[in-house]
Amino acid sequence: MAIDALTTSGINSLVNSYVQSENAKRVAPLKARQTRFNNLSSAYSRILNQIDTLKSSLSALKNQSNNSVFQSKSAKSSNESRIVASASSNANTGVYNLRVDQLAKNDSVLSVDKNSSDYSSITNPGEYEFKILTGDGSGGYFRSSVKVVLSNSDFSGGNITFSNLANKISQTVNNDLATINSNYVSGTFSGSGSFKFLFGSNEYTINYSSADYEQVIDSIVQQLNEITGISAEKVVSNGTFSLKVTSNVVSNFIQFKDDTGSLLSNLGISNSKEIAASQLINFSVFSPVSGKTQISISSKKTGYEFRFSEISDITTNGVLNEFGLNLGTSRPNFVQVDNGEDTAGFLYSTNQLNAKVKFNGIDVQRNSNEINDLITGVNLKLLSTSPSNESDVVLTITSNTNEIKSRIENFITKFNELYNYLRENSASTKDRRGLLLGDSNASSLLNLLNNFAVNSLQGFSSSVVNSLSKLGITFNVNSGLSIANESQLISSIENKIVEVENFFSSTNGFANQLFNAIDSYSGPNGYLKKAQNQLNSNITALNDSIKNSELRISKSAERLRLQYQRLQSQFAQLISNQSIFTGNIFNQQL
DSSP per residue over 210-242, as a string?
SEEHHHHHHHHHHHHTTSTTEEEEEEEETTEEE
State the burial class of residue 338 (Cβ atoms within 10 Å of its Cβ: 0-12, 13-18, 19+).
exposed
CATH topology of domain 106-176+277-350: Immunoglobulin-like (2.60.40)
What local confidence, expressed as pLDDT, does residue 30 receive? 66
Report which DSSP code applies to 165.
H
pTM above 0.75, yes or no: no
Return the closest-CA partner of residue 412 out of 453, 448, 383, 374: 453
With residue 280 as reference, give the H or E element that holds it: helix 277-280
Strand partners, 395: 77, 96
What local confidence, expressed as pLDDT, does residue 56 receive? 94
State the burial class of residue 396 (Cβ atoms within 10 Å of its Cβ: 0-12, 13-18, 19+).
middle
Report which DSSP code applies to 556.
H
Report which DSSP code applies to 24.
I
Report the 10 Å Cβ neighbour count for 556.
14
What local confidence, expressed as pLDDT, does residue 542 receive? 64
What local confidence, expressed as pLDDT, does residue 27 receive? 64
Phi/psi for 475 (5° steps) reads -125, 135
Show me where the domains of the chain are located.
Answer: 1-72+400-572, 75-104+354-399, 106-176+277-350, 179-274
Please name the residues in contact with 21: beta carbons below 8 A apart, sequence gap of 6 or more. none
CATH topology of domain 179-274: Immunoglobulin-like (2.60.40)
What sign for the dihedral angle of Cα 406, 408, 413, 418? positive
How many helices (H) does the chain have, and how many strands (E)?
12, 27
Return left, alpha or beta for 293; rule: phi > 0 is left, psi -120 to 50 is alpha, else beta: beta
* Residues 280 and 144 sit within 8 Å (Cβ to Cβ): yes
What local confidence, expressed as pLDDT, does residue 28 receive? 67
What local confidence, expressed as pLDDT, does residue 298 receive? 98
Distance between CA atoms of 121 and 175, rounded to whole angstroms? 25
Burial state string for 403-438 with b = 16 or more CB within 10 A and e = fewer than 16: bbbebbebbbebbbbbbebbbebbeeeeeeebbbee
* Residues 70 and 354 sit within 8 Å (Cβ to Cβ): no
What local confidence, expressed as pLDDT, does residue 499 receive? 93
* Residues 115 and 105 sit within 8 Å (Cβ to Cβ): no
* Residues 507 and 40 sit within 8 Å (Cβ to Cβ): no
pLDDT in tens, the chain (590 residues): 454 556 777 777 777 877 777 767 776 676 667 667 676 777 778 888 899 999 999 999 998 877 889 988 999 999 999 999 999 988 988 999 999 999 999 999 999 999 999 999 999 999 999 999 999 999 999 999 999 999 999 999 999 999 999 999 999 999 999 999 999 999 999 999 999 999 999 999 999 999 999 999 999 999 999 999 999 999 999 999 999 999 999 999 999 999 999 999 999 999 999 999 999 999 999 999 999 999 999 999 999 999 999 999 999 999 999 999 999 999 999 999 988 899 999 999 999 999 999 999 999 999 999 999 999 999 999 999 999 999 999 999 998 999 999 999 999 999 999 999 889 888 877 667 777 787 888 889 999 999 999 999 998 999 999 999 999 999 999 999 999 999 999 999 988 999 999 999 999 999 999 999 999 888 777 777 776 777 776 667 667 677 776 687 777 777 877 776 777 777 767 766 766 666 566 555 55
Half-sphere exposure of residue 385: CA atoms within 13 angstroms, side-chain side: 11
Amino acid identity at 292: K
Q: Cα 252 from chain centroid? A: 25
Q: Do domains 106-176+277-350 and 179-274 have the same CATH topology?
A: yes
